[in-house]
A and B are shown apart, each in its own frame.
Chain A
Amino acid sequence: MRNLFLFFREHYFYFLFLLLETISLVLLFNYNEFQKSSLYSVSNAVSGSVNSMFNGISEYFSLGKTNRVLIEEMAKLHSRIPEAFYVTDVNIFYKKDSIVHLEYKYISAKVISNSTNKRNNFLMINKGSMHGIENHMGVIIGNKIVGQVVSVSPHFSWIMSMLNKDSRISGKFKKNNQLVNVEWNGGNYRKGQVREIPKHIVMVKGDTIITSGNSDIFPEGLMIGTISGFKNAQDENFNNGEILFSTDFNSLGYIEVVVDMMRKEKEELKASFKTQ
């Protein structure tokens, strides 16, 4: 027994190393599953306040650009209100019926931290569970995709960007509705990979890929990007392509979080099928 103690005292450095390294690795592998976000929420509150302070300063440098974006957005919205249309139809229909429900609503928020230079990139925004944001909601800018909410605290949310090894978005070709998967393999932040394109699809450069609406995260029809190159694989069942993202992930200012009002119903439906 005494020898055992001596042995431990002699080599405590190795044991301490093993202990600390194991703790780190256990944390790494447990908490990087985004669902287990309890620790994130605590650290979000700390790092969020530091980040928003820093962002409050750097915000001043981009005021001009932000104004321009807002004016453009306003012009776009003005052109959509009913007064902007020349009505030729005599009948006007009001959807006052209880059959019609709002399916998606949008919460706008400001990006307070963002990166594009890591293998796994995340964004933090200045709204959280207090404003109705929940895990797994999609995040968009204009009609372009950004990512998915993976953790929320009362005032902030942590978003897994499309530029992440765990991001995988279900998309489709706009021209023929063929389903594909879009991923990012690191490196250039403007370009992603399109996987599982069936062999018989004829691709040309510039083909538009939009969201498929299959994943319950994004509504259908949002821009993902355009095909910028592809390779016809000889010995596999699918072709792979390269996609130029429509979103400029390096200049995200204000984004919108997509709230799917019918998600609960969709999930219940799926769950009820499983339990049968």
Chain B
Amino acid sequence: MTSRTVFFNIIRFFFLIFFQVLILNHINLSGYINPYFYIYFILLLPFDTPKWMLLVAALVLGWSVDIFTNTIGLNAAACVMMAFARPFVISAISSGPESLLGETPSLRNQGLKWFLYYSIILILIHHFAFFYLEIFRLNEFVETFVRALLSSAFTLLLVLISEYLLYPRGK
């Protein structure tokens, strides 16, 4: 990890938190879709990030968003769970060393199929953890399930859009 990478990750950290709390949290799409795009930060951490750093970064990220939504521990718990799953997901979907090309996971280096698997699994883990912890009851099981699925789809859409915008293929 170069100091440049660290710098960019710190910028991204603040940008995504403010984007989440100032814009995305104010979007109301039929009461069922709440995208949590800030987890893009965890998706984009470099491959060689130490494992303990993954967990700590996720905790701090989730906590920062929690402070703005007054749900202390909720985002943090979901983010830590997602960061915990990340190394396992990467090793499960990577077939050879060429799939770990480049410094950070990206659509350009790993290809659409790899990146889709990677982000779908991690986004689903985060969103399901988040919505079921938020409600913490089983009697609204179906509504929560639908809400988590729709929101995950929307978050994935945002992730893919930013992948195509920020890291175009021919670069």
On chain B, the residues within 8 Å of A40 by CB distance are: 70, 72
Interface residues of A in 96-152 (CB under 8 A from B): 115-120, 122, 151
State whether B72 touches A32 (Cβ < 8 A). yes
State whether B67 touches A46 (Cβ < 8 A). yes
On chain A, the residues within 8 Å of B55 by CB distance are: 13, 16-17, 20
State whether B31 touches A21 (Cβ < 8 A). no
State whether A24 touches B143 (Cβ < 8 A). no
Query: Number of contact residues on A: which range applies?
Result: 35 or more
State whether B67 touches A47 (Cβ < 8 A). yes
Interface residues of B in 51-73 (CB under 8 A from A): 51-52, 55-56, 58-59, 62, 67-73
**Is the CB of B84 closer than 8 A to any CB of chain A?**
yes
**Is the CB of A185 closer than 8 A to any CB of chain B?**
yes
**Is the CB of B29 closer than 8 A to any CB of chain A?**
yes
- Closest-by-CB residue of B relative to A43 is B67
The one of B29, B52, B74, B131 in contact with A28, judged by C-beta atoms closer than 8 angstroms, is B74
Stretch from B4-12, B19-27, B93-101 that touches the partner:
B19-27
**Is the CB of B91 closer than 8 A to any CB of chain A?**
no
Query: A58 to chain B: closest CB distance in Å?
Result: 9
On chain B, the residues within 8 Å of A46 by CB distance are: 67
Interface residues of A in 146-177 (CB under 8 A from B): 151, 158, 165
- Closest-by-CB residue of B relative to A53 is B22
Given the interface pairs A24-B59, A32-B71, A115-B25, the reply to whether A165 lies near B135 with Cβ below 8 Å is yes
Q: How far, in whole Å, are A47 and B59 apart by their CA atoms in the complex?
A: 18
State whether B70 touches A187 (Cβ < 8 A). no
**Is the CB of B76 closer than 8 A to any CB of chain A?**
yes
Digitize B6-46: 1 where CB-to-A-CB distance is under 8 Å, 0 elsewhere. Answer: 00000000000000011001111101111000000000000
Query: B47 to chain A: closest CB distance in Å?
Result: 16
The one of A26, A115, A120 in contact with B26, judged by C-beta atoms closer than 8 angstroms, is A115
Query: A17 to chain B: closest CB distance in Å?
Result: 4
The one of B33, B72, B143 in contact with A43, judged by C-beta atoms closer than 8 angstroms, is B72
**Is the CB of A188 closer than 8 A to any CB of chain B?**
yes
Query: A258 to chain B: closest CB distance in Å?
Result: 22
Q: How far, in whole Å, are A40 and B80 apart by their CA atoms in the complex?
A: 22
On chain A, the residues within 8 Å of B137 by CB distance are: 165
On chain B, the residues within 8 Å of A185 by CB distance are: 140, 143
Q: How far, in whole Å, are A95 and B76 apart by their CA atoms in the complex?
A: 57
State whether A117 touches B68 (Cβ < 8 A). no
Q: How far, in whole Å, are A116 and B56 apart by their CA atoms in the complex?
A: 31
Given the interface pairs A24-B77, A28-B74, the reply to whether A187 lies near B68 with Cβ below 8 Å is no
**Is the CB of A54 closer than 8 A to any CB of chain B?**
yes
On chain B, the residues within 8 Å of A245 by CB distance are: none
Taking each of A17, A25, A32, A43, which has the highest tally of chain B beta carbons within 10 Å of its own beta carbon? A17
- Closest-by-CB residue of B relative to A26 is B73
Given the interface pairs A20-B80, A24-B80, the reply to whether A31 lies near B72 with Cβ below 8 Å is yes
State whether A43 touches B73 (Cβ < 8 A). no
Q: How far, in whole Å, are A151 and B72 apart by their CA atoms in the complex?
A: 13
On chain A, the residues within 8 Å of B140 by CB distance are: 185-186
**Is the CB of A27 closer than 8 A to any CB of chain B?**
yes
A-B pairs with the 8 shortest C-beta distances? A28-B73, A27-B73, A24-B77, A117-B28, A24-B76, A31-B72, A17-B84, A43-B67
15 contacts between A and B (CB under 8 A): A13-B52, A13-B87, A23-B59, A24-B76, A24-B77, A25-B133, A32-B74, A39-B72, A40-B70, A43-B72, A44-B70, A47-B70, A186-B31, A186-B140, A250-B28
Beyond the given A44-B70, A187-B31, please list 7 additional residue pairs across the A-B interface where CB-CB is below 8 A.
A13-B55, A26-B73, A28-B133, A47-B21, A47-B68, A118-B134, A120-B134
Question: Which residues in B have some Cβ–Cβ distance to A below 8 Å?
Answer: 21-22, 25-29, 31-34, 51-52, 55-56, 58-59, 62, 67-74, 76-77, 80-81, 84, 87, 131, 133-135, 137, 140, 143-144, 147
